[in-house]
Amino acid sequence: MSLEITSVNKSFCGWTKHYTHRSTALNCDMRFAIYLPPQTANGQKVPVLYWLSGLTCTDENFMQKAGAQRIAAELGVAIVAPDTSPRGVGVADDDGYDLGQGAGFYVNATQAPWNRHYQMYDYVMNELPQLIEATFPVSDKRSVFGHSMGGHGALVLALRNPDTFQSASAFSPIGNPVDCSWGQKAFAAYLGKDKGAWADYDASLLMRKAKGAVPVLVDQGEADDFLEEQLKPETLEASAKESGYPLKLNRREGYDHSYYFIASFVEDHLRFHAKHLAT
C-alpha cells in the first residue's frame, strides 16, 4: 500500500508527519497524521496511541492544537490521528455538519449511499493499524483516545475489543448516542431503523454488559455547551456502576468543549496510557 507524505515537522526531537493513502476499507483516499517520538530514530519500536477526533475535525486538529508532542517524546509513545471520515468526489455527504464528510461516527454503515465508503470502524480498528505497524517502527501495543464523536469512537473500540487495546480515554465523549440528537441522526442514516444495530456503537450500553475490560479515563468539562443534550456522562457512570467497569470520570469545573480543555489535560491522558502500554 503506497503512502504519500504531505508534510513533515520536527517537534521535540521527534517528527510530526502527515500522509495520504488509498484505503481499501473506505474505497477512497484517506489522510492521517503520525507523531514519531525521538526513540524511533534508531529503529526502536514504540507503542501507539490512536487519537480519534470530533465532528468537523480532520487529522490536523489534534496535532496542531493539543500540545501532545512534548509528553509523547518524553514517554516514547507514537500518536496516530486519522481523518474523521472518508472524503472526496463521489463520497456521500450531507448539508449538516453532523452527518457525512467530517462526521463518520466511527461506525460501519450498512445503508445506501453511506455503505459504499463509510466503514470507519473497520478502518480505525484494522486497516490503519495494520498499515502503521507495517510501515513505522512501532509495536503492536495499542491504546486509543478521542474527543466528542471521537471519544465515542475510542470507547466503543476498546469496549468491543478489550484484548486489542491496553487502555482507553476520552474528552467529552458522546456517551449514549442512541439517546441524543447527534447519535440518532447519524445512526439512522448509517445503520437504518433497527435500533438493535445502534447498540453495538453505544458506549453506555456496551459498558453495562461488558465481559472484558480495559482501564478507561474520561474528562468532562462542566461548562460544556453540549453536556446535557448530547454527551450525557451520567449514563457512562451508571453503566460502570452497574457492571463494575473500571471507569474514572473527572468533572472539570469551568472547562468547555474546546481544545483549550483538551490541551489542559492531555498530559494526564498520555501518562495514563503510557503506564498501561508499558505493562
Range of 250's domain?
A: 3-277
Which tens digits make up the pLDDT trace of 186-198? 999 999 999 999 9
State the DSSP code for 127.
I
- Mean pLDDT (the chain) is 97
84 burial type by CB count under 10 A (0-12 exposed, 13-18 middle, 19+ buried):
buried
Closest listed residue to residue 86, CA positions, set 61, 129, 120, 52: 120
Residue with cell 507495517: 134
pLDDT at residue 183 is higher than 90: yes
> From CA 110, how far away is CA 162, in angstroms rounded?
24
CATH of the domain at 60: 3.40.50.1820
Measured in residues, the chain has a length of 279
The model's pTM is 0.97
Per-residue confidence (pLDDT) for residue 1, from 0 to 100: 58
**Mean pLDDT across 59-63:** 97
pLDDT at residue 160 is higher than 90: yes
pLDDT at residue 230 is higher than 70: yes
DSSP secondary structure string for all residues of 197-264: HHGGG-HHHHHHT-SS---EEEEEETT-TTIIIII-HHHHHHHHHHHT--EEEEEETT--SSHHHHHH
pLDDT at residue 141 is higher than 90: yes
Share of the chain above pLDDT 90, in %: 97
Q: Based on the structure, what is the number of domains in the chain?
A: 1
Per-residue confidence (pLDDT) for residue 38, from 0 to 100: 98
Q: Show the cell assigned to 169.
A: 480515554
> From CA 187, how far away is CA 194, in angstroms rounded?
9
Share of the chain above pLDDT 70, in %: 100
Q: Give the phi and the psi of residue 43 in degrees, each rounded to 5.
A: 90, 0
Per-residue confidence (pLDDT) for residue 211, from 0 to 100: 85
> From CA 25, how far away is CA 125, in angstroms rounded?
11
Residues forming beta bridges with residue 194, ordered by sequence position: none
Active-site residues, by number, are 148, 224, 257
State the DSSP code for 80.
E
